[in-house]
Amino acid sequence: MSDRVLSTATAREAIERFQRIVQGPLLQQINDLNREGQLLSDPNNWDGRLAAQFRSHWAETHQKLLAIRDALEDLRRQVAQINQNIMQAGGQ
């Protein structure tokens, strides 16, 4: 493990962009997919043989999307904390 502590301007800019993507459009799009999938999984909204096939896979997909959303948010928090720790340790 290295004792080096570094957070360049390039890294800090990438962190800001990363945070904006995760907090903004990416999480919103995952939430949007979940909302639309929920509507499509209701046979009162969409039915038929292929719609039923979609429904049979939707629950697993829905759970995976939620897990991805949560993992991205955790990663975003970790990146922010790591950078904060580096800056407090005297990183440049």
pTM, full prediction? 0.79
Q: What is the pLDDT of residues 73-88, one digit of tens each?
A: 999 999 999 999 988 8
Whether residue 77 lies inside any domain: the answer is yes
Range of the domain at 53: 9-88
What's the total number of domains in the chain? 1
Q: What is the pLDDT of residues 9-26, one digit of tens each?
A: 999 999 999 999 988 899
Question: Where are any strands of DSSP class E within the chain?
Answer: none
Whether residue 1 lies inside any domain: the answer is no
pLDDT for 41 equals: 96
